A = this chain, B = another copy of it.
Amino acid sequence: MSLDHAILGFLRYGPRTGYDLKKVFDVSVRHFWPAQQSQIYQSLTNLTDHGHIECEVIAQTDRPNRKLFHITNSGRDELQRWLVAPIAEKPVRAQFLIQIFFAGCLTDTEILHLLESKAKEVQRVIERFEHGEIPHPTHAKDLPPREQFFWYLTLDFGIDNAYQSLRWLKQAIARIRNKDYEQGIAGALAERKSS
Protein backbone atom coordinates (compact mmCIF):
# COMPACT_ATOMS: atom_id res chain seq x y z
CA MET A 1 0.00 0.00 0.00
CA SER A 2 1.24 3.49 -0.86
CA LEU A 3 0.71 5.05 2.54
CA ASP A 4 2.65 2.27 4.25
CA HIS A 5 5.52 2.74 1.83
CA ALA A 6 5.57 6.49 2.23
CA ILE A 7 5.85 5.96 6.00
CA LEU A 8 8.72 3.54 5.45
CA GLY A 9 10.31 6.17 3.23
CA PHE A 10 10.29 8.74 6.02
CA LEU A 11 11.40 6.27 8.68
CA ARG A 12 14.44 5.54 6.53
CA TYR A 13 15.65 9.05 7.47
CA GLY A 14 15.38 8.14 11.15
CA PRO A 15 12.88 7.11 13.84
CA ARG A 16 9.64 9.09 14.08
CA THR A 17 6.42 9.04 16.09
CA GLY A 18 2.99 8.97 14.45
CA TYR A 19 2.65 12.60 15.36
CA ASP A 20 5.99 13.49 13.70
CA LEU A 21 4.95 11.65 10.57
CA LYS A 22 1.70 13.57 10.30
CA LYS A 23 3.62 16.83 10.47
CA VAL A 24 6.12 15.90 7.81
CA PHE A 25 3.38 14.50 5.55
CA ASP A 26 1.56 17.81 5.69
CA VAL A 27 4.55 19.77 4.45
CA SER A 28 5.92 17.34 1.89
CA VAL A 29 3.80 14.69 0.19
CA ARG A 30 0.40 16.18 0.98
CA HIS A 31 -0.15 17.47 -2.55
CA PHE A 32 -0.08 13.96 -4.00
CA TRP A 33 -0.72 11.75 -0.97
CA PRO A 34 -2.53 13.37 1.95
CA ALA A 35 -2.95 11.34 5.11
CA GLN A 36 -5.13 11.67 8.17
CA GLN A 37 -3.56 11.32 11.61
CA SER A 38 -5.82 8.38 12.36
CA GLN A 39 -4.80 6.67 9.16
CA ILE A 40 -1.12 7.02 9.98
CA TYR A 41 -1.65 5.36 13.36
CA GLN A 42 -3.49 2.51 11.65
CA SER A 43 -0.68 2.08 9.14
CA LEU A 44 1.89 2.04 11.91
CA THR A 45 0.02 -0.80 13.61
CA ASN A 46 -0.13 -2.64 10.33
CA LEU A 47 3.57 -2.12 9.55
CA THR A 48 4.49 -3.32 13.04
CA ASP A 49 2.39 -6.47 12.55
CA HIS A 50 4.32 -7.16 9.36
CA GLY A 51 7.66 -6.65 11.05
CA HIS A 52 8.61 -3.73 8.80
CA ILE A 53 8.97 -1.34 11.74
CA GLU A 54 9.63 -1.62 15.47
CA CYS A 55 8.36 0.49 18.30
CA GLU A 56 10.50 2.03 21.03
CA VAL A 57 8.46 3.49 23.86
CA ILE A 58 9.74 6.67 25.45
CA ALA A 59 8.08 7.28 28.80
CA GLN A 60 6.61 10.70 29.54
CA THR A 61 4.68 11.80 32.57
CA ASP A 62 2.70 14.83 31.47
CA ARG A 63 1.66 13.40 28.10
CA PRO A 64 1.01 10.01 26.51
CA ASN A 65 4.26 8.11 26.07
CA ARG A 66 5.99 8.75 22.77
CA LYS A 67 6.17 5.73 20.51
CA LEU A 68 9.22 6.06 18.31
CA PHE A 69 9.10 3.80 15.28
CA HIS A 70 12.26 2.43 13.71
CA ILE A 71 12.49 0.83 10.29
CA THR A 72 13.73 -2.78 10.31
CA ASN A 73 15.78 -4.56 7.66
CA SER A 74 12.59 -6.20 6.48
CA GLY A 75 11.08 -2.73 6.11
CA ARG A 76 14.08 -1.49 4.15
CA ASP A 77 13.83 -4.44 1.79
CA GLU A 78 10.11 -3.95 1.34
CA LEU A 79 10.57 -0.25 0.55
CA GLN A 80 13.35 -0.94 -1.94
CA ARG A 81 11.27 -3.62 -3.64
CA TRP A 82 8.26 -1.33 -3.89
CA LEU A 83 10.17 1.72 -5.12
CA VAL A 84 11.58 0.02 -8.20
CA ALA A 85 8.41 -1.80 -9.26
CA PRO A 86 6.25 0.10 -11.75
CA ILE A 87 2.75 0.13 -10.33
CA ALA A 88 -0.55 0.64 -12.10
CA GLU A 89 -1.92 3.97 -10.95
CA LYS A 90 -5.31 4.03 -9.27
CA PRO A 91 -7.71 5.42 -11.88
CA VAL A 92 -8.12 9.18 -11.79
CA ARG A 93 -11.45 10.47 -10.58
CA ALA A 94 -12.43 14.00 -11.48
CA GLN A 95 -15.84 15.09 -10.31
CA PHE A 96 -15.79 18.31 -12.28
CA LEU A 97 -15.42 16.33 -15.51
CA ILE A 98 -18.70 14.59 -14.68
CA GLN A 99 -20.24 18.02 -14.33
CA ILE A 100 -18.85 19.07 -17.70
CA PHE A 101 -19.89 15.81 -19.32
CA PHE A 102 -23.52 16.47 -18.42
CA ALA A 103 -23.32 20.24 -18.80
CA GLY A 104 -25.60 19.98 -21.82
CA CYS A 105 -28.53 20.63 -19.52
CA LEU A 106 -26.99 23.81 -18.09
CA THR A 107 -27.08 27.30 -19.53
CA ASP A 108 -23.89 28.93 -20.81
CA THR A 109 -23.89 31.18 -17.76
CA GLU A 110 -24.09 28.23 -15.39
CA ILE A 111 -21.30 26.27 -17.05
CA LEU A 112 -19.08 29.36 -17.30
CA HIS A 113 -19.58 29.97 -13.61
CA LEU A 114 -18.51 26.41 -12.91
CA LEU A 115 -15.40 26.64 -15.05
CA GLU A 116 -14.42 30.00 -13.66
CA SER A 117 -14.73 28.84 -10.09
CA LYS A 118 -12.63 25.80 -10.97
CA ALA A 119 -10.03 28.07 -12.58
CA LYS A 120 -9.87 30.15 -9.41
CA GLU A 121 -9.37 27.02 -7.35
CA VAL A 122 -6.48 25.91 -9.57
CA GLN A 123 -5.02 29.41 -9.38
CA ARG A 124 -5.01 29.15 -5.60
CA VAL A 125 -3.26 25.79 -5.81
CA ILE A 126 -0.57 27.31 -8.03
CA GLU A 127 -0.08 30.18 -5.60
CA ARG A 128 0.33 27.79 -2.71
CA PHE A 129 2.85 25.75 -4.68
CA GLU A 130 4.85 28.76 -5.73
CA HIS A 131 4.75 30.25 -2.27
CA GLY A 132 7.34 27.58 -1.55
CA GLU A 133 5.99 25.98 1.62
CA ILE A 134 5.76 22.48 0.23
CA PRO A 135 8.14 20.73 0.56
CA HIS A 136 8.95 22.72 3.64
CA PRO A 137 12.60 23.90 3.57
CA THR A 138 13.10 22.89 7.22
CA HIS A 139 12.68 19.26 6.29
CA ALA A 140 14.53 19.42 2.99
CA LYS A 141 17.58 21.51 3.79
CA ASP A 142 19.65 18.83 5.52
CA LEU A 143 19.24 16.27 2.78
CA PRO A 144 21.92 15.61 0.18
CA PRO A 145 21.32 17.42 -3.14
CA ARG A 146 20.22 14.30 -4.97
CA GLU A 147 17.46 13.65 -2.41
CA GLN A 148 16.41 17.29 -2.50
CA PHE A 149 16.22 17.06 -6.27
CA PHE A 150 13.67 14.24 -6.14
CA TRP A 151 11.60 15.95 -3.46
CA TYR A 152 11.34 19.05 -5.62
CA LEU A 153 10.75 17.05 -8.77
CA THR A 154 7.37 16.05 -7.34
CA LEU A 155 6.63 19.71 -6.67
CA ASP A 156 7.57 20.49 -10.25
CA PHE A 157 5.06 17.90 -11.43
CA GLY A 158 2.34 19.46 -9.31
CA ILE A 159 3.01 22.93 -10.65
CA ASP A 160 3.21 21.73 -14.23
CA ASN A 161 -0.02 19.84 -13.86
CA ALA A 162 -1.83 22.78 -12.30
CA TYR A 163 -0.73 25.09 -15.11
CA GLN A 164 -2.00 22.60 -17.66
CA SER A 165 -5.39 22.51 -15.96
CA LEU A 166 -5.52 26.28 -15.81
CA ARG A 167 -4.62 26.72 -19.47
CA TRP A 168 -7.22 24.15 -20.44
CA LEU A 169 -9.92 25.78 -18.31
CA LYS A 170 -9.22 29.19 -19.82
CA GLN A 171 -9.41 27.73 -23.30
CA ALA A 172 -12.68 25.95 -22.49
CA ILE A 173 -14.14 29.18 -21.17
CA ALA A 174 -13.11 30.97 -24.36
CA ARG A 175 -14.63 28.26 -26.54
CA ILE A 176 -17.94 28.42 -24.75
CA ARG A 177 -18.02 32.22 -24.91
CA ASN A 178 -17.32 31.82 -28.61
CA LYS A 179 -20.18 29.29 -28.87
CA ASP A 180 -17.89 26.68 -30.41
CA TYR A 181 -20.40 24.11 -29.21
CA GLU A 182 -22.47 24.87 -32.27
CA GLN A 183 -19.89 22.83 -34.16
CA GLY A 184 -20.37 19.84 -31.84
CA ILE A 185 -17.38 17.51 -31.62
CA ALA A 186 -15.24 19.64 -33.91
CA GLY A 187 -15.56 22.55 -31.52
CA ALA A 188 -14.44 20.53 -28.52
CA LEU A 189 -11.13 19.12 -29.64
CA ALA A 190 -8.18 21.47 -29.65
CA GLU A 191 -5.49 21.24 -32.23
CA ARG A 192 -2.47 19.62 -30.75
CA LYS A 193 0.97 19.48 -32.21
CA SER A 194 2.72 16.18 -31.70
CA SER A 195 4.51 15.83 -28.37
Identify the A interface with B (CB < 8 A): 2, 5-6, 9, 12, 28-29, 31-34, 79-80, 82-84, 86-106, 110-111, 113-114, 117-118, 121, 140, 143-157, 159-161, 163-168, 170, 172, 175, 180-185, 187-190, 192, 195
Contact = CB atoms under 8 A, between A and B. Distances in A.
Q: Looking at A6, A34, A93, A118, which has the most chain B CB atoms within 10 Å of its CB?
A: A93
A6 B103 CA distance: 11
How many copies of this chain are found per oligomer? 2
A149 B2 contact: no
Contact of A148 (B111, B148, B188): B188
Given A9-B101, A149-B180, 19 more contacts: A29-B98, A29-B101, A32-B92, A32-B97, A83-B102, A90-B93, A97-B154, A100-B153, A100-B154, A104-B147, A111-B150, A145-B187, A149-B185, A149-B188, A160-B164, A160-B190, A161-B164, A163-B195, A166-B195
